[in-house]
Structure 1
């Protein structure tokens, strides 16, 4: 447990320059304890508010987000290196999320009537659970935190965020967002803490549920500790998403979208396309054009709107990625382009394509969390499906064919939480999002997501 008055600090390193830009004092246990008490007290009032009233808060939250989107985008770029144009798009997506639930939360949470004997009334109501702890990653620092908090808070819960240690400024800015939108104090709180106190926070009786987006080991740790306390969890973990290109695909679109699906956010996304599975008939043309697109991307200062690929979020992460590339090449893979860190300040790794990737190497078996595409040649559709499913992960998948019926049939045969035909994998407020296998469980977003942390209470009136 974090000892009272034992303050340490989080240093923010700008990944584009390697320079320290800010330092934030971490919360000690006394401050965590106060935040937990505040969450419980606030919940007792917040849960009594009508859904319509909570929807109106979302309208105000969306306004605050839009009014200050450039400020928040620049903060994100300084802390984790996302190209500024993509950072602005992330902030705008957060506002859209608020718009969606402002319009549809009441419908999603409507009482459900059931058949019952004459003269009785039987229904299901959706009561909130209480304070929800969220352990969130740095790669989409605003979207991930809003994606959990907007639906859960609108359902009547209150949220506590333990964000990644390299984005404390973003974490505190999100708390500020809720304050500026007029939410009661304690509806959303940021805990500026590292990983050490998480187990104790999870075990605390004031926390009623938890959600995590992050690595498999982190997910297992949270699920294990929460399970000991019989607390509900939702986990969105890693992915090694297949991007399947069949012989009748629109290659223009498959090359353009595939390049974006692998390289946006510096390739640092659970749902980025990672394993490109291309049938033999179009493999040579695809990889030639794919390489041209990769090499045409602009690598540079993430504050420049012309930049396509900025730095990796941390130097140690870039070094780990490079180790995976080296191990894959040593095992027999061929680096068609890229494959070496750039000789410049900052944690820059170039868009990289690995071909001839053998079995049992990092590029085939592990998640490569950076701008590295592993390309595989397969004989036909059947082999493509088999390879797509030959992974411990099951988050998303993308299938490319001009035959929509064929695309849907193939999509049904791929083991993943979501499969997009002729589109990149994305999280969208209107549809459920989540994975299977080692990619986690539970769903976020849409009507299903807002009900993950409610008590589906049966009320029978005789």
Structure 2
């Protein structure tokens, strides 16, 4: 979590040139209390609002995001540095997610009948109250959307604590919810430091918490939620394995690996971080990756022709450089890259590390930047064993021209998601989440809407058949 103090302003700093754009004052304890009280009061009415009306408001949010797409995509790129075309795609994904739950939410939340030998029984899916959503900066709109869309549709209200470096993205989303016609208090943004989160989790009016973030942040939230017997859902880090089997289309695999790893300047939980290639094709694959890295255009993320954007901040690039240096100190080899790019902004060279040994930091840690850990393995089983030798279990990829073989390998990978001939992706209808230290719970798909509802059993019997 952020280490912003109570009095430190929350700032937008453009990572392309490291210039301060705008500051926001941290909310006072009185303002926070007012927002919690309003969210709790709003829930009492929102939970009774017909699902059709909730759906109409979600559709309205989607419409407003379409209308404001140029403004939204510019803000995301300005605040965290991603390519403008990536910001545009993110906004379009958010629109699709809001529309998905608007179109399907009532069906997902319908009573679910249960088979029973006497009388009848069904599950009634009922909202639980005020949710605290804690989200990171790397997808400033998508992270909001994938927690807000299903849980608001379910009838909960939400308080958002967004990352401190994307305050304008946080604010404009609250503005859009208000403009869409959501009742006051149903969705609110909190400008607060991370040090305030435990107090919020302890508040009796907040019934559950969802977090996307680092492993330490997730551990802290899980402990706090557990202490107060509240449900939590966590999507934490990942060190996804990208397995290339010896019958794969090497060109396709190399292109996917490079595009996947430079996506968001490497700041994606599910981008391919550990590239595991069978030895028969490893040298050819590596040569293709190096050539593709060399051809990338580094520059202004606002320009459409730019391929590689800056990292989100000076601290981000410094942290990745330190991880690479530590890997080298522990025996790893830098095949290409390894340094920051000598130009203004938080830019780093696309990097390939090899000779990474078990027990070293790079073998287990997530590197949140454009860095591959490259492994050459003898065979398919060695690839599976290496993929599973990780504390993380978020996503993964298997490249093979034989779908049956790829699915067989995918079944043996210990993660929440595995994609065949594609980097781990995102779609409204597909569940997103992990296992092991990558967290628990699912977002998107029908599964997401059930994370924070009370699946209440209602049993119906006649008086003379009761038991």
CA contact under 8 A between 1:295 and 1:337: conserved in structure 2? Answer: no
Structure-2 residue corresponding to 1:42: 42
1:179 to partner: Cα distance: 1.1
| DSSP-derived class of the 1:367 partner | coil
1:191 equivalenced with 2:190 (yes/no) = yes
CA contact under 8 A between 1:84 and 1:302: conserved in structure 2? Answer: yes
Structure-1 residue corresponding to 2:73: 73
**Partners of 1:297 and 1:419 in 2: CA distance:** 27
**Partners of 2:436 and 2:45 in 1: CA distance:** 38
**Partners of 2:116 and 2:438 in 1: CA distance:** 40
CA contact under 8 A between 1:7 and 1:28: conserved in structure 2? Answer: no
1:307 to partner: Cα distance: 1.2
TM-score, reference length from structure 2: 0.96
| DSSP-derived class of the 1:252 partner | helix
1:362 to partner: Cα distance: 3.0
CA contact under 8 A between 1:400 and 1:407: conserved in structure 2? Answer: yes
| DSSP-derived class of the 1:197 partner | helix
Tell me the alpha carbon deviations over residues 36-66 of structure 1, each in whole angstroms, 9 at most, x when there is no partner: 0100111111110122221111111110000
1:332 to partner: Cα distance: 2.5
1:11 to partner: Cα distance: 2.0
CA contact under 8 A between 2:251 and 2:285: conserved in structure 1? Answer: no
1:360 equivalenced with 2:359 (yes/no) = yes
**Partners of 2:172 and 2:331 in 1: CA distance:** 46
**Partners of 1:232 and 1:427 in 2: CA distance:** 25
1:180 to partner: Cα distance: 1.6
Structure-1 residue corresponding to 2:297: 298
Query: Within 5 A, what are the aligned runs for 1:432-451?
Result: 432-451=431-450
Structure-2 residue corresponding to 1:89: 89
**Partners of 2:40 and 2:362 in 1: CA distance:** 46
1:220 equivalenced with 2:184 (yes/no) = no
CA contact under 8 A between 1:325 and 1:362: conserved in structure 2? Answer: no
Structure-1 residue corresponding to 2:376: 377
CA contact under 8 A between 2:42 and 2:185: conserved in structure 1? Answer: yes
The runs of 5 or more residues in structure 1 that have no matched partner are 1-5
1:224 to partner: Cα distance: 0.6
| DSSP-derived class of the 1:336 partner | strand
1:171 to partner: Cα distance: 0.8
Tell me the alpha carbon deviations over residues 351-405 of structure 1, each in whole angstroms, 9 at most, x when there is no partner: 1111232333333221000000111000000000000000010000100001100
| DSSP-derived class of the 1:433 partner | coil
**Partners of 2:398 and 2:347 in 1: CA distance:** 30
**Partners of 1:340 and 1:354 in 2: CA distance:** 12
Structure-2 residue corresponding to 1:172: 171
Tell me the alpha carbon deviations over residues 176-225 of structure 1, each in whole angstroms, 9 at most, x when there is no partner: 12112111111110000110110101100110000000001100111111
| DSSP-derived class of the 1:418 partner | coil
Structure-2 residue corresponding to 1:347: 346
**Partners of 1:435 and 1:309 in 2: CA distance:** 27
* Structure 1, 46-55 or 395-404: larger mean CA deviation: 46-55
1:8 to partner: Cα distance: 4.1
1:101 equivalenced with 2:101 (yes/no) = yes
Structure-1 residue corresponding to 2:31: 31
| DSSP-derived class of the 1:196 partner | helix
**Partners of 1:351 and 1:44 in 2: CA distance:** 51
**Partners of 1:211 and 1:9 in 2: CA distance:** 25
**Partners of 1:419 and 1:114 in 2: CA distance:** 32
The alignment's C-alpha RMSD in Å is 1.1
**Partners of 2:447 and 2:67 in 1: CA distance:** 30
Structure-2 residue corresponding to 1:20: 20
Tell me the alpha carbon deviations over residues 220-248 of structure 1, each in whole angstroms, 9 at most, x when there is no partner: 11111111110000000000000000000
* Structure 1, 234-243 or 359-368: larger mean CA deviation: 359-368
* Structure 1, 314-323 or 347-356: larger mean CA deviation: 347-356
Structure-2 residue corresponding to 1:207: 206
CA contact under 8 A between 2:356 and 2:373: conserved in structure 1? Answer: yes
| DSSP-derived class of the 1:357 partner | coil
1:117 to partner: Cα distance: 4.8
Structure-2 residue corresponding to 1:329: 328
**Partners of 1:53 and 1:43 in 2: CA distance:** 15
**Partners of 1:243 and 1:376 in 2: CA distance:** 10
**Partners of 2:322 and 2:306 in 1: CA distance:** 25
The runs of 5 or more residues in structure 2 that have no matched partner are 1-5, 462-467
Matched length: 456
**Partners of 1:392 and 1:447 in 2: CA distance:** 27
Structure-1 residue corresponding to 2:3: none
Query: Within 5 A, what are the aligned runs for 1:51-62?
Result: 51-62=51-62
| DSSP-derived class of the 1:273 partner | coil
**Partners of 1:203 and 1:20 in 2: CA distance:** 34
Tell me the alpha carbon deviations over residues 87-125 of structure 1, each in whole angstroms, 9 at most, x when there is no partner: 11101100010121121111211111112355x331101
1:284 to partner: Cα distance: 0.3
**Partners of 2:319 and 2:197 in 1: CA distance:** 25
Judging changes above 3 Å, is the alpha-carbon distance between structure 1 residues 374 and 87 closer, same or farther for their aligned structure 2 residues?
same
| DSSP-derived class of the 1:140 partner | coil
Structure-2 residue corresponding to 1:132: 131
Structure-2 residue corresponding to 1:258: 257
**Partners of 1:175 and 1:265 in 2: CA distance:** 24
**Partners of 2:205 and 2:46 in 1: CA distance:** 16
